[in-house]
Amino acid sequence: MPSPDHPCAGHSAPHAFTFMNPRVRDGVVVHSRRSVLKTSLAGLGGLTLPALTQLRAEGKVTKGGKSVILLWMTGGPSQIDTWDPKPDRPREIRGPFKTIPTKLPGTHICEYLPKQAAMLDKFTLIRSVDCRFSNHEPNMVMQTANLANEPRTNPKAKYYPSFGSIVAKHRGSNHPAMPPYVVLNMKSRSHVAWGGYLGTQYDPFDGSSATKLFQLPSGLSMDRLHARQTLSRQMDGLRAEIDASGMMGAMDSFSQTAFDIVAGGRAQEAFDLSKEPQKVRDRYGEHDWAKQALLARRLVERGSSFVTIDLSNHGASGTWDNHGDNIPPYGGIWSGLRPLLPVFDHVITTLVSDLAERGMLDDTLVITMGEFGRTPTLGTQGSTDGRNHWPHVMSMSLAGGGFRHGQVIGASDKDGGQIDERPVTPGDLAATIYHHMGVPLDATYTDHQGRPNFVVDQGAPLRELI
């Protein structure tokens, strides 16, 4: 547990902005054909395709093009210094940033979000999200809508399934050759929620591993992977080793189909950004988050249903965890948060604009949020300009999904520390996602004792959006 004066003490990571280390290996490192096969087999459980293929065979997968892209602001962004500014309060509350008007009359946001301000009629801001019980490392409550999902205090918390896993189970992908639930730029397993009680076959497919998996080493071609007899011999030799690590999941008679999808052209092409026209790549830009956003668009365009982007630069508690300039690696509001905002502003507006221009925005719900807000007063923990964790209220933004946008839902109090009107709960968020994706709101899953659990607990779709 972190110490009281430093909630994220014990995290061993470089500063958030020393992430461009060319000599540091990241993700899956492929050394040989054997390691490629191990990687591909280990990923099949997370790919969810054996179960998906079986669901399709049983006629249980809903058809259609609905999808969700979740931009997960790992660490918990400050509501006051982004979407819910308090310009009339003292500096220790309002922070160092100015505000700017937006496309919505009377609505102001942070000065470092000018692109989003100019197209805020395409967004909905929620300034009254009730994030009580949410924590991070691991980041669970706001990705599952289960208030008991706090692994630090509840050993069963890791079993509550994520939004993406629920969608993967009840809806599947929009194309049988694509994984339904994908996580991109995953800096740590603790940054995202998993399949839990649903089984490892509904874990997210790690897009970072996929990218390296498709880059086969010398001597191993897709033709050789498709040679069933050779593949079978390799699988037989590795099965016991992988089963011992618990990574094989629910492999059954549909496993070969899943492997064929991994080795097949559609998924491989989706992960290959070089297939995108240069002018589109230039539009998104070279920042890693921008590349992940373009990749997310390509994935949903080709049939994935739920894509989460881990908007972080390190594997500790997250880049948005701005405790203070003198509390590395997180930085404070000025030196930690300020450089992030223009990058995020470009990423979110480019993604939403691109989806709209392609006629995909009504079918794609774009969600941007973290796990909680931050203290309404600067200088916590002896910092100069940091804000500590604050689970009483946070802000988030939505776009697309065919919903009514160009509005602000809810409000915080004058200092931005408590909900003043229209609380929005994690259950409300879950119900809104499932409403969009066609998942029955009364659907259940069973725990290890065989007891049913509702996928939505005490929540309803946001009436303002529908």
229 within domain boundaries: no
30 part of a folded domain: no
Q: What is the overall mean pLDDT for the chain?
A: 83
Q: What is the mean pLDDT of residues 329-353?
A: 96
What is the spatial distance between Cα 341 and Cα 353, in angstroms, rounded to a whole number? 18
How many other C-beta atoms are found inside a 10 Å radius of the C-beta of residue 320? 27
Digit-coded pLDDT (tens) for 197-210: 999 999 999 987 76
Q: Is the pLDDT of residue 223 over 90?
A: no
How many other β-carbons are positioned within 10 Å of the β-carbon of residue 126? 25
Is the distance from CB of 379 to CB of 385 less than 8 angstroms?
Answer: yes
**97 in a structural domain:** yes
pLDDT at 226: 54
- Please give the sequence-ordered ranges of beta strands (E in DSSP) within 265-415, or none if there are none: 306-310, 364-369, 373-374, 389-390, 394-400, 407-409, 411-412
pTM: 0.83
- Specify if 238 maps to a domain: no
Q: What is the mean pLDDT of residues 78-100?
A: 98
Residue 197, in any domain of the structure: yes
Judging by DSSP bridges, how do beta strands 123-129 and 394-400 pair with one another? antiparallel
Q: Which residue has the higher pLDDT, 258 or 329?
A: 329
Q: Which of 138-152, 162-176, 425-439 has the lowest mean pLDDT?
A: 138-152
- Three-state secondary structure along 149-189? CCCCCCCCHHHCCCHHHHHHHHCCCCCCCCCCEEEECCCCH
Does 322 reside within a domain?
yes
Residue 311 lies in a domain: yes
Summarize pLDDT for 12-53 with one digit per residue, the tens: 444 433 333 333 343 334 444 444 444 444 444 444 445 555
Per the omega criterion (within 30 degrees of 0), is the bond before 161 cis? Answer: no
Q: Where do we find the tokens 């009359």?
A: 105
For the chain, the domain total comes to: 1
Using 50, 70 and 90 to split pLDDT, how confident is the model at 262? low
Q: Region 276-282: what's the mean pLDDT?
A: 98
* pLDDT value at residue 330: 85
Q: Classify residue 299 by burial, with Cβ atoms within 10 Å: 0-12, 13-18, 19+.
A: buried
**230: pLDDT confidence band, cut at 50, 70 and 90?**
low
Q: In this prediction, what percent of the chain has a pLDDT beyond 90?
A: 65
Looking at residue 22, its pLDDT comes to 34
Average confidence (pLDDT) over 265-275:
90
Q: Given this model, what pLDDT does residue 216 score? A: 55
CATH number at residue 174: 3.40.720.10
Band (251; pLDDT cuts 50, 70, 90): very low
Q: Which domain holds residue 407?
A: 65-207+274-454
State yes or no: pLDDT of 249 exceeds 90: no
pLDDT of 235 over the 50 cut: yes
456 residue type, one letter: V
pLDDT in tens, 168-183: 999 999 998 999 999 9
Residue 157 has what pLDDT?
86
- Assigned domain for 279 exists: yes
- Residue 150, pLDDT score: 81
Mean pLDDT along residues 143-164 = 89
Chain segment 91-102, per-residue pLDDT in tens: 999 999 999 999
Share above pLDDT 70 across residues of the chain, in percent, rounded to a whole number: 74
Q: Which of 43-47, 97-101, 255-259, 389-393 has the weakest average pLDDT?
A: 43-47
Query: 337: pLDDT confidence band, cut at 50, 70 and 90?
Result: very high
Q: Inform me whether the pLDDT recorded for 404 exceeds 80.
A: yes
**What is the pLDDT at residue 239?**
53
Residue 255 predicted with pLDDT over 60: no
Q: Report whether pLDDT(334) > 80.
A: yes
Residue 210's pLDDT is what?
66
